[in-house]
Amino acid sequence: MSEKKLKVVLPIAILFLGIAGTVAIIKSRSPVPTKPPEEYAPLVRVMTVELTTHHMVVTAYGTVKPRTESVLVSEVSGRVTYVSATFAEGGFFEAGDALVRVDPRDHELAVVIAKSQVAQARVRAELEEAQAEVAREEWKTLGAGKTSPLATRELQLQEAIAALASAEAGLERAQRTLDRTQIRAPFAGRVRQTMVDRGQFVSPGTPVATIYAVDYVEVRLPIPDHELAYLDLPINYRGDQDRKTGPEVTLRAEFAGSRHSWSGRIVRVEGEIDPVSRMVHVIAQVDDPYARTGPDEDPMPLAIGLFVEAEISGHELSDVVVLPRTAVRRDQTVLVVDGEDRVRFRPVEVIRLSGSEAVIGGGLESGERVCVSVIEAATDGMKVRTLDVTGEKAESEAIKLGENK
């Protein structure tokens, strides 16, 4: 074979030999064992459904305010000669206590003068009465005909009696002015701000202090209109004589590094709905907020201006299910885990979503398991592994999930 033919035939032969070898290797290999793909089952938390009676609670926030706040003013002129030991910002006082006294000497002199005028007017009135009696007897004796009021001194007697009444009124006015030199507390309360001190001259209308009552305090709480259905509020109508009382309320606040609570009651509902926020404002009342009473040995007073959280007691619902809020999906469904640990979508009747809990009124049966974990891509029939968190552990898990959501 010539060298030229060899160059053509040799590559073709090598190619055929390679193909034959490859075919032989493929045919002689052993089959590769295969197994079906494993189904991925994520671990989820589940709660066992229990039908229960749930006490609805509506939460609101507000600031403590006094039920009455007044500005005391001086009604007389004079120099301040006395201030009470309790007449200081934050000082307590009782109804009728003299907080400030104005120099009474000028007013005492006015009372003395008024008493003198009363005495003079009384003497004159008695003299006129005696003279009128004599004049009437003389007129009868003379038999002069028709009686003249001037001749019988009836007009003079009426003038004297009127002068006596005027003098007595002047004495009463002078006595009242003297009494007003002592500025007394109109109610039991506390001093917010003082505006005068000993030695200062005051005149009628001069502000002396700002005070507020301490028999009870009030907290104005805004409630969304959709939350009103859960409360039994004291709605008053025109013509109602008796003031209705509302549900109990517990106030809580963090102060001085400690958590404190106070008990009160809703006493009234304001007559208007806020046109912007659509809120209805209710008034909570706490009696005797500065009393040393309560479960603690040294209870914290409910101070004016304190920002508090209020929990208003609402209706009781029977045969409902309480789940963590994360268990309810946006389309008002929950994930129920069946006996084969597979997820099933279940529509439910959601009564209320609040805080970290959801109240379910229908759609679930007692003993069923509900998934409380957040699964982003859940599918119907998906296989899962379960961790039961029913009970106290479920509550802590619900709070944890609500915070992480």
CA distance 208 to 265: 34
The residue behind tokens 């201030």 is 83
Q: pLDDT of 358-368, one tens digit each?
A: 899 888 988 89
Task: State whether the Cα torsion 160-166-169-175 is positive or negative.
Answer: negative
Q: What angle do CA 128, 129, 135 make, to 5 degrees?
A: 85
Look at 329 and 5; give whichever has higher pLDDT: 329
Instruction: Give the mean model confidence (pLDDT) for residues 270-298.
Output: 80
Is residue 5 very low, low, confident or very high in pLDDT (cuts 50, 70, 90)?
low
| pLDDT at 76 > cutoff 50 | yes
* Residues 85-110 as b or e (16 or more Cβ within 10 Å = b): eebeeebebeeebebbbbbbeebeeb
Q: Which residue has the tokens 């963090």?
A: 254
For residue 145, what are the contacts with CB-CB under 8 A and spacing of at least 6? none
Q: What percent of the chain has pLDDT over 90?
A: 40
Between CA 97 and CA 223 the distance in angstroms is: 40
Determine the pLDDT at residue 205.
92
| pLDDT tens track for 17-26 | 777 777 777 6
Residue 35 CA to its chain's centroid (Å): 66
pLDDT per residue over 330-339, tens digit each?
888 999 999 8
Task: State residue 142's pLDDT score.
Answer: 66
pLDDT band at 397 (very low <50, low <70, confident <90, very high): very low
Q: Quote the pLDDT of residue 108.
A: 92
Partners of residue 224 on adjacent β-strands? 279
Flag whether the pTM goes above 0.75.
Answer: no
404 vs 49, residue with greater confidence: 49
**Which of the residue ranges 18-22, 271-275, 287-291 has the most confident prediction, judged by mean pLDDT?**
287-291
Exposure string of 13-52, with b = 16+ CB inside 10 Å and e = fewer, is: eeeeeeeeeeeeeeeeeeeeeeeeeeeeeeebbbbebeee
Residue ranges of the domains in the chain?
43-55+317-404, 59-66+213-314, 105-180
What pLDDT is attached to residue 17?
74
Could you tell me the two tokens for 365?
């049966």
pLDDT of residue 132: 76
Cα-flanking dihedrals φ and ψ of residue 324, to 5°? -60, 145
- Of the candidate CATH numbers 3.40.50.2300, 3.30.70.100, 2.40.30.170, 3.40.50.10310, the domain formed by 59-66+213-314 belongs to 2.40.30.170
| Average pLDDT for the chain | 84
Which has the higher per-residue pLDDT, 252 or 20? 252
CB 60 within 8 A of CB 312: yes
Question: In whole angstroms, how large is the CA radius of gyration of the chain?
Answer: 46
Is it the case that residue 235 has pLDDT exceeding 90? Answer: no
- Determine whether 230 is exposed, middle or buried from the number of CB atoms within 10 Å of its CB (0-12, 13-18, 19+): buried
Q: What's the Cα-to-Cα distance from 331 to each of 110, 113, 346, rounded to whole Å?
A: 84, 88, 10
Residue 133's pLDDT is what? Answer: 78
Architecture in CATH for domain 43-55+317-404: Beta Barrel (2.40)
Task: Note the pLDDT of residue 145.
Answer: 57
- Report the DSSP beta bridge partners of residue 112: none
The per-residue pLDDT for 405 is 37
Angle between helices 154-179 and 105-142 (to 10 degrees): 170
Confidence of residue 211 (pLDDT cuts 50, 70, 90): very high
Query: With 0-12 CB in 10 A as exposed, 13-18 as middle and 19+ as buried, what is 146?
Result: exposed
Q: Is the pLDDT of residue 395 over 50?
A: no
Judge residue 188's burial from the number of C-beta atoms within 10 Å of its C-beta, 0-12 exposed, 13-18 middle, 19 or more buried.
middle
Does pLDDT of 260 surpass 50?
yes
- Model confidence at 139, in pLDDT bands (50, 70, 90)? low
Confidence of residue 241 (pLDDT cuts 50, 70, 90): low
pLDDT of residue 18: 74
